[in-house]
Structures are given as C-alpha cells and as structure tokens.
Amino acid sequence: MSRSAPQGLKPVSFASLSGTAEAVPFPKPLSSRTAEAVTLPRSFRRQISKLLVLMIAVASLLPYSAVASSKDKNRISAVRWAEGNPGCTFSRDDDGKYRYGIWSDEAGIVMAVDSQELEKVHRRHQPFFAVLLTVRYRGQTSLEVATENISLQFMKHFQVMQTALDPDDFSDKVQNDADALNDETARQVEKHPEQKEQKEAFVRAFLKDSAELQEFIGKNSLRPTRLSPGKTEASGWVLFSTESKWISRWKKQEEFILRVPLAGKIFEFPFRLPPKPGETILRKRE
C-alpha cells in the first residue's frame, strides 16, 4: 500500500501567495519576418509585469527566511535523551515499565512507559497511549510545569504528532460516550427484546470501565503546577489519543518521540517498544 501525505497539505503555488491568479494568454507564434514589427497588447504586458514582480518578491523572501531562521536567537533548544549521554538514564523495572531519565541544569524528567502498552491500547474502549512523567526540580527559585504542549510523535505512522489530551475534556468525552451507548442500547432493546440480556451485560461492563477510567484520569493525571525548594517533584500520567486514520495497526517494534517543554527547553525522549525486538519484562508478583 502506497503512503500518501495527510489531507490538507497542498503544493505551494504562486497563486496562493497573491490571491487569485489571472489567466495569462499565450501569444500566437510569430514568423521571423514580422517579429520586429509586432507590439504586444497592453493588457498582456501588464499581466507579464505583475507576474515578474511576484516572482521577484517570492525570490527575495526565500533566502531571507533561511537566513533569519539560522540567526534566530530565541529558538528553543532541545535536550535529547541518548543512551550513555551525561544526565541520561534507563532502566527496566519490576513493575513492568521502561524508564528513561534526563537531567539538564536544575530540571529533570523521568518518563515511564508500560512494556505492554501497545497491547493495552487496543483493549481499551477509549484508545489512548499513556506515559507516566515525573518532573523534578533542584533549583532555588521556582519552575512552572505546563502540560498542554506535551506531544507524542508516532514515527512509523507518517510521523503523526498528537498533543496531550486535556484530562477534564477527555473525562467529559468518556462520560458522553457512555451516555450515548446507554441510550442507544435502550432503543435497541426496545426493538429487539430477545437481545436484552446480552446488550445490557455489555453496557454494564462498558459503564464500569468508563467510570474506572474517569476516576483514574481525575486522580492520576499530570496537572499544571509550580515546583520550588518546598515542592521539588510532580508526577502524573499523560494520555495521547490514537484515534487517527494515519495511525494503523502496530508494528512489531514501534518508534516514538515524546517532547516535553520545560525550563525554556524541549526535553525529547526517542524510545521504542519494545526497546529490543521480542524483549519482555517479567513483572514482580505482589
């Protein structure tokens, strides 16, 4: 199956830079004997002049953009996790999670992901990918921890990038979907009473899962906060939707990049599930 670019991306054209382009008539071929005596129509000359001015304007902007971007002193620097680099850690733990850590100056982040997360996504009524983040601060002032710009990139699925789900909005969606299913099931049972037991059993299980998910979101999501010498750590789950036509079924080994803006930097966690093909973690029995 051939891969195509996501809808909404269109080739850049000169017309898109200046509004609606006028059709430019192509002149009829001229013989060599009459070429010197021919004068182009005034309307045609105006159209050619407009096109030339537009081409010059576009040509002048392109190199300027490249130079400006290379000299942009306000560009946010990235701190990227890499095995063996100073400040970077990795562990496989008894709770079944892989943990990646980065320290940069006074801030540090540990990202934990379940070794069975790929399998769990498709067993959930609401498909989402979850990571557990722990932010630590060892400075003497304060550090703002925001969550709305955290993103996860699915590298083997057209490199689609999903931003973190807002916990309250996602909880509302879970409730709305549960209410919609309950109402629809009531209508179906009225039409097909012989299916009542089967359908109502499914709805009960769905509502139970929805209630547990809402409770989990409310209690365990990472929320915006401020760290200081009196509060040096914040921890919570961050969820990303996998409902996208560009995210197909999982590969044997998936690749991701988690990006977390913090302390004026972007903390990047490139990771794979599993880190090595066929690798599993034996969970410690409680």
Res. 279 pLDDT band, cuts 50 70 90? confident
Q: Residues 213-250: pLDDT tens digits?
A: 999 999 999 999 999 999 999 999 999 999 999 998 89
The mean pLDDT value for 250-278 works out to: 93
Residue 176 lies in a domain: no
Residue 279 lies in a domain: no
> Pick from 23, 40, 70: which residue ends a domain?
70
Q: Rounded to the nearest 10 degrees, what angle do helices 167-191 and 196-220 cross at? A: 170
Do 59 and 117 lie in one domain? The reply is no
What is the secondary structure of 170-238 as a DSSP string? HHHHHHHHHHHHHHHHHHHHHH-GGGHHHHHHHHHHHHHHHHHHHHHHHHHB---EEEBTTB-EEEEEE
The mean pLDDT value for 253-275 works out to: 96
Rounded to whole angstroms, how far apart are CA atoms 59 and 215? 56
- Is the predicted pLDDT of residue 28 greater than 60, yes or no? no
Tell me the pLDDT of the chain averaged across its residues.
80
Q: Based on the number of CB atoms within 10 Å of its own CB, is 221 exposed (0-12), middle (13-18) or buried (19 or more)?
A: buried
Q: Residues 48-57: pLDDT tens digits?
A: 655 554 454 4
Do 39 and 84 lie in one domain? The reply is no
Residues 6+ apart with CB under 8 A from 224: 144, 145, 146, 147, 148
pLDDT value for 44: 55
The mean pLDDT value for 203-222 works out to: 96
Residue 204 lies in a domain: no
Do 29 and 121 lie in one domain? The reply is no
Measured CA to CA in angstroms, residue 273 lies from 49, 80, 230, 248 at distances of: 57, 18, 36, 16
Do 22 and 64 lie in one domain? The reply is yes
Residue 105 lies in a domain: yes
Residue 281 lies in a domain: no
Domain that holds residue 92: 77-168+211-273
Q: How many domains does the chain have?
A: 2
Do 48 and 96 lie in one domain? The reply is no
Residue 133 lies in a domain: yes
- Identify the CA nearest to 136 among candidates 41, 233, 51: 233
> Is 109 strand, coil or helix?
strand
pLDDT value for 277: 74
Rounded to whole angstroms, how far apart are CA atoms 133 and 235? 6
Residue 280 lies in a domain: no
Do 124 and 60 lie in one domain? The reply is no
Q: Residues 93-128: pLDDT tens digits?
A: 999 999 999 999 999 999 999 999 999 998 898 899
Assign residue 103 a region (left: φ > 0; alpha: ψ between -120 and 50; beta: otherwise). Answer: beta
Q: What is the pTM of this model?
A: 0.71
Residue 35 lies in a domain: yes
